[in-house]
Amino acid sequence: MKVIIGVDIGGTNTAIGVVDETGTCVRKNAVPSNTQPDAEKYGQELSQAIKKLVEQQTDAELMGIGIGAPNGNFHRGTIEHAPNLKFNGIVPLVEIVKRYFDAPVFLTNDANAAALGEKIYGGARDINDFIMITLGTGVGSGIFVNGQMLYGHDGFAGELGHTIAIPGGRQCNCGRKGCLETYCSANGLKRTVFEMLASNNADSSLRDYSYHQLTSKAIAEEAMKGDKIAQKAFAYTGKILGKQLTDFVAFSSPEAIFLFGGLVNAGDILLEPVKNHFHENLMTIFKGKVRILESEIKEGDAPIIGASALVWNEI
Amino acid sequence: MKVIIGVDIGGTNTAIGVVDETGTCVRKNAVPSNTQPDAEKYGQELSQAIKKLVEQQTDAELMGIGIGAPNGNFHRGTIEHAPNLKFNGIVPLVEIVKRYFDAPVFLTNDANAAALGEKIYGGARDINDFIMITLGTGVGSGIFVNGQMLYGHDGFAGELGHTIAIPGGRQCNCGRKGCLETYCSANGLKRTVFEMLASNNADSSLRDYSYHQLTSKAIAEEAMKGDKIAQKAFAYTGKILGKQLTDFVAFSSPEAIFLFGGLVNAGDILLEPVKNHFHENLMTIFKGKVRILESEIKEGDAPIIGASALVWNEI
């Protein structure tokens, strides 16, 4: 059986999966991301865990290893200045992992991996021009144009979470102000709730949460139960995202925009305002031509599956 | 001698030029754009003028015809809902012109033509990922990624003049508010001057101009002479443009951004604030990697030369 190893490097754990040709993750494992500041040793541990997993899968023919990582650079096979990982600076992870395998090794950032997963296994199989927006702790993106992943000159194309939504707005981790991510990520939603709790007098069950306690899931649940602040926070998030997506259309004229990640689980509370403000603000020449779609990749194994798609896309 | 016909359809005139392989326009002609609401008749007149021009050029071997037009659609060979042209709706100009010639005929919008000119004959010859921004009456753009012109799903990619610079800002001809074009075009500069004349008490020779009289050239001349309002208007224009360009980098991670068009003639009065605010506001991972450059295509024949480049790019 031909298999790909998909690797998803998160802030705490690194998930490793054996993915078959249909895009199903048939076997999984994990190593800690966070205990190893030494990139060489981390690469060794990761490679050993991969070897073990492949050995457990009888009759597996390893076609390649695909790695999704924050600030992953496809061109150079490096992780560069990733703020949430222990090893700092520029880590040549592809070079390190390649020492342990004969199969090809590729690396890209996690949102690009999600876009590749959608293209190879998901709703974008027949779509050549699309944008994937990942709405998680941050906002990431992966862009396909002319049927190709857009990496750009230096391999970092698709940082749409860091386009400016509100000039001079909220402070972003990237050092700038008003980035889309500060409004439309899970954290952005929390920030909106706290702003609204401060500026509004309305009663809300969200007043019982500390900032650290509050999650986007809790906000979604309260919104479903009818909490007005929670509902308004989603409406505001959707409005900002919907408007910003029109700028992305003016850039690459995609056929569809896929939304993926934790926030999308809130369903129509988020998607309705996104779609309304998107279609209302779209330039005339694009009206009626661009669909907003939910990702078809199931969330649990998505990062692993996306990372594995990177290999299918390249070999 | 192998030649291309480059056609530039403007609001008043349609310029036609014979362009040789070095990108030199060796012979020119023009027909009115504005007297013919009938697209069939316009296409016939245009084709006759092209035939005449080619005949005048002894030993010319016609390789193709490239047409640059507002709202030109490369995929369909059409001009669609161009607000400044007499014929409305969707005009299948390539189909019409093809009836009169054996050579291939291509059409795209004017800013894409400018980008193609830069790629084939200008400063982008060795650059695969770049963005061309045209600063004229409006703001247009043409985008190259992976060495290819970016047309997008429906052929209208690269409408960066209509990304939002100031949410809820100035009314744009496209029906929306706050588009980059309302601030950073020649008209946008005028609007800024008028705002500043209203909000400021400073004396200024620009107070002698009516809105219709005032041109970006006059504002540039007054700025050079030391007029404070004119200088502030350019500084503001450059600030908005420089910041907005950082969003474009986050999309496609280009190696360079080329600036072209009337406003660029103002030189450092505009370019300095553009570059300063660009480099200051760029995300860390892109810092030091993206150059802001002036177009190397000479302005006079640029639209004709750009349109001709479309043919070299396709054949």
Are A147 and A82 in a shared domain?
no
pLDDT at B59 (0 to 100):
86
The residue type of A100 is Y
In a mutational test of the A interface, the residue from B108, B154, B174, B182 whose CB has the highest number of chain A CBs within 10 Å is B154
Question: Does the pLDDT of residue A55 top 80, yes or no?
Answer: yes
pLDDT for A104 equals: 96
* A254 interfaces chain B, CB cutoff of 8 Å: yes
The helix (H) or strand (E) run that includes residue B246 is: helix B228-252
Angle, helices A268-281/A228-252, rounded to nearest 10 degrees: 40
**What helix, strand, coil percent values describe chain B, rounded to 5?**
40, 25, 35
Of all helices (H) and strands (E), which one includes residue B270? Answer: helix B268-281
Which tokens hold the place of A214? 């509050």
B178 plus B90 within the same structural domain: no
The single residue listed with the structure tokens 């999704």 is: A68
Q: Does A167 touch chain B (CB under 8 A)?
A: yes
Instruction: Give me the average pLDDT of each 10-residue run along chain B (315 residues).
Output: 92 90 89 84 94 89 94 92 80 95 94 92 95 93 95 94 96 94 97 96 95 96 96 98 98 97 93 98 94 88 89 85
Q: Which is nearest to A116 in space by CA: A155, A149, A73? A: A149
- Would the ipTM clear 0.85, i.e. be above it? yes
- The number of C-alpha atoms within 13 Å of B53 and in the hemisphere containing its C-beta is 25
DSSP assignment string, A100-116? T-SS-EEEEEHHHHHHH
Which of A151, A158, A253 is facing B157, going by the closest CB pair?
A: A253
Residues of A in contact with B248 (CB under 8 A): 251
Question: Residue length, chain A?
Answer: 315
**At residue A44, does pLDDT exceed 90?**
yes
Mean pLDDT across A257-262: 94
What is the enclosing helix (H) or strand (E) of B4? strand B2-9
The answer to whether residue A139 scores a pLDDT higher than 90 is: yes
Locate B31 and state its tokens. 């027909």
Q: Which residues contact B301 (CB under 8 A, 6 or more apart)?
A: B17, B25, B28
Model pLDDT, residue A47: 95
Q: What would the two tokens of residue B104 be?
A: 């291939």
**Is the same domain home to A25 and A143?**
no
| DSSP letters spanning B95-143 | HHHHTT-SS-EEEEEHHHHHHHHHHHHSTTTT-SSEEEEEESSSEEEEE
Structural domain of A273: 127-294
CA B101 to chain centre: 27
Q: Contact, A117 vs A130, CB < 8 A?
A: no
Cα-based torsion angle of the residue sequence B152, B155, B159, B163 in order, rounded to the nearest 10 degrees: -50
Instruction: Check whether residue B203 and residue B289 sit in a common domain.
Output: yes
User: Any CB–CB contact under 8 A between A153 and chain B?
Assistant: yes
> Do B35 and B108 share a structural domain?
yes
Instruction: State the CB neighbour count (10 A cutoff) for residue A234.
Output: 27
pLDDT at A57 over 90: no
CB-nearest to B281 from A156, A176, A255 is A176
| Rounded average pLDDT over A211-237 | 96
SS3 B215: coil
Burial of B80 (0-12, 13-18, 19+ CB in 10 A): buried
Strands A78-80 and A90-91: antiparallel
Rounded Cα–Cα distance for residues A155 and A183 (Å): 26
Which tens digit of pLDDT belongs to each residue from A196-212? Answer: 999 999 999 999 999 99
Interface of A with B in 109-148 (CB under 8 A): 128-129, 143, 145-146, 148
- pLDDT score recorded for residue A11: 78
Residue A60 and residue A201 in one domain: no
Position with higher pLDDT, A110 vs A254: A254
Statement to judge: residues A39 and A61 lie in one domain: yes
- What's the pLDDT score for residue A230? 97
Chain B contact for A158 (CB, 8 A cutoff): yes
CB-neighbour burial class of residue B287 (10 A; exposed 0-12, middle 13-18, buried 19+): exposed
Give tens-digit pLDDT for B98-157.
999 999 999 999 899 999 999 998 999 999 999 999 998 899 999 999 999 999 999 999
Q: What's the sign of the alpha-carbon dihedral A227, A230, A232, A234?
A: negative
Handedness of CA A14, A16, A22, A26 (dihedral sign): negative
Q: Are residues B81 and B159 in the same domain?
A: no
Residues of chain A with pLDDT > 70: what percent? 100
Shared domain check, B216 and B184: yes
Question: Does the pLDDT at position A59 exceed 90?
Answer: no
Q: Are residues A304 and A290 in the same domain?
A: no
Looking at residue A156, its amino acid is F
Pairing of strands B291-294, B256-260: parallel
SS3 of residue A22 by DSSP: coil
For position B182, which CATH number holds? 3.30.420.40
Q: Is the Cβ pair A174, B284 closer than 8 Å? A: yes
Please indicate whether, in this complex, the C-beta atoms of A167 and B162 are within 8 angstroms of each other.
Answer: no
Based on the fold, state whether residues B44 and B169 are members of the same structural domain: no
Structural domains of chain A, count: 2
Question: Comparing C-alpha atoms, which of B301, B315, B303 is closest to residue B24?
Answer: B301
Give the residue-averaged pLDDT of A220-248: 97
Residues B155 and B272 in one domain: yes
Residue B104 confidence (pLDDT): 96
Write the DSSP string, A53-112: HHHHSTT-EEEEEEEEETTEETTTTEEES-TTSSS-SEE-HHHHHHTT-SS-EEEEEHHH
**Exposure of B118 in the CB half-sphere (CA atoms within 13 A):** 34
Is the torsion defined by CA of A170, A173, A177, A182 positive or negative? negative
Q: Average pLDDT for residues A117-129, to the nearest whole number?
A: 94
Inter-chain CB proximity B251 and A163 less than 8 Å: yes
DSSP A21: T
